[in-house]
Amino acid sequence: MINNIPRVRFAPSPTGYLHVGGLRTALYNYLFARNSGGKFILRIEDTDRNRYIPGAIENLISTLKWAEIDYDEGPDIGGENGPYLQSERLDIYKEHADILIKNKKAYYCFCSAERLASLREEQQKQNIQTKYDKHCLNLSDETISQNLSKGLPHVVRLNVEPGKIIKFRDHIREEVEFSSEVVDDQVLIKSDKYPTYHLANVVDDHLMKITHVIRGEEWLSSTPKHIILYEAFGWEIPVFAHLPLLLNADRSKLSKRQGDVAVEDYRNKGYLKEALINFVALLGWTAGDDKEYYDIDELISKFSLDRVNKSGAVFNIEKLNWLNEEHLRRKSDAELLQMLRTELSESKYSTLTYTDEYLISVIRVMKERVSFIKEILEKGYYFFEEPSSYEEAVVKKRWNNQSAEILKLYGENIRAINSPTKEDYENILKNTAAQFNTGNGDVIHPLRLAVSGIGGGPGIFDILYIIGREKTLNRINTIIEKLNK
């Protein structure tokens, strides 16, 4: 191992949002580091200037901090191995590219875009792999010097030796090998002087003392190029672990065409970070038990690369929703109160005032009925405003000729009691039903319709006790007036 202390990194490109696959890569690196007593580094790979999106770096950092995936070194906190933005490390890459050129492990290429396009077209016609033909490999030193002095556009390419077998051990996929015949003479330094992913990645991983490279399966085919570079520099090769693909329900690669793929989308929809982290951790990894609910401390204590699967992991939104419910229900009243107040401040009820006691009462009767805190306002809107309409199917089924008279009597009975308790509401309902010689249901259903406008929800006596006598009476009067018309 390069270093006695395991060191891992998450190295995203600032091209927009953070993909859930990127979140999983960051999470697995984080869990591995925390489980092993190692260090977790955030490095921003921003050398592809065509794909760079202003503000994306800040968004990446903000999203990781929201998810509470804390790193030990990074662009905003520094560290002894910085800078952590690749665009600030260009001199380092040039220096290492020069070393490769000097040792004949890389070479200058002055081929025009037109020649490369023509070469690619001809190879496609012949139905052979499209790759560079080493045309510039044997240019004389004099020609190279002249071309450079003229300022001719050029790149630096990796010199891949033909006829070699490149073998490495992947921690997840075990023994992997590639023939060098299928490895292109990859561009290492582009014509804009910026490095490609391959050179910058290897140089930075070595200089930052990365011991384990944990990344997505899509980088597996690039690993031979990286192995060649490590060997060309004479550097120790880190442990590779390539994570399985994330799949849609139809086992196609997870894409925005079939649903949300950005962490920010799930955050904006109200998913809890604890639920999303729990869910993403299980996309390709298992602790070997039957559990599905984990908090972050359990994930850290149980995580191991040995239990990461090879096969793709299906993104099951129903499971994510279930986990969100589970994490929501296990939160304290104080946490849920703070969350509900945030939702209220951003809703049409923002100008209204509610006591903590009132909101906690609402939370306690609603949290078993919602998947998201915002659903308390949607499904339990009647705790915050009087119903303006009544569910038509319920009116048709539950409202009859006697309903108005029953509710009038129920109202008169509760008006006679100051500050009725939950038990008072229940006892009065039973007495009202007995007075009409009817079942309790003939009182409950129209009463629920009166106070909530719908046919389902928490216990009717919970609702009555929370909203109180005056609102209950007002709502009884309103439904009688509206439905009698």
Nearest in space to 65 (alpha carbons), one of 349, 308, 263, 197:
263
Chain-centroid distance, C-alpha 127: 40
- The residue assigned the tokens 């106070």 is 451
What residues contact residue 474 under an 8 Å CB cut-off, 6+ apart?
Answer: 386
Alpha-helical runs (H) found in 182-304: 197-207, 223-233, 263-268, 273-281, 296-302
Q: Which backbone phi and psi does 178 adopt, to 5 degrees?
A: -130, 150
| H/E stretch holding 107 | strand 106-109
Nearest in space to 4 (alpha carbons), one of 39, 41, 51, 29:
39
DSSP-assigned states of every residue in 124-135: HHTT-------T
Tokens of 279: 């869910």
N- to C-terminal Cα separation, the chain: 82
Other C-beta atoms closer than 10 Å to the C-beta of 333 total 14
Tell me if residue 256 is catalytic.
yes
Q: From the candidates 256, 291, 310, 348, which is the catalytic residue? A: 256
What residues contact residue 274 under an 8 Å CB cut-off, 6+ apart?
Answer: 295, 296, 327
Instruction: Answer yes or no: are the C-beta atoms of 101 and 153 closer than 8 Å.
Output: no
Residue 218 has, within 13 A of its CA and on its CB side, a CA count of 8
Distance between CA 224 and CA 239 in Å, rounded? 13
What residues contact residue 213 under an 8 Å CB cut-off, 6+ apart?
Answer: 8, 9, 205, 238, 239, 240, 241
Alpha-helical runs (H) found in 69-196: 90-102, 113-125, 141-149
Active site members:
256
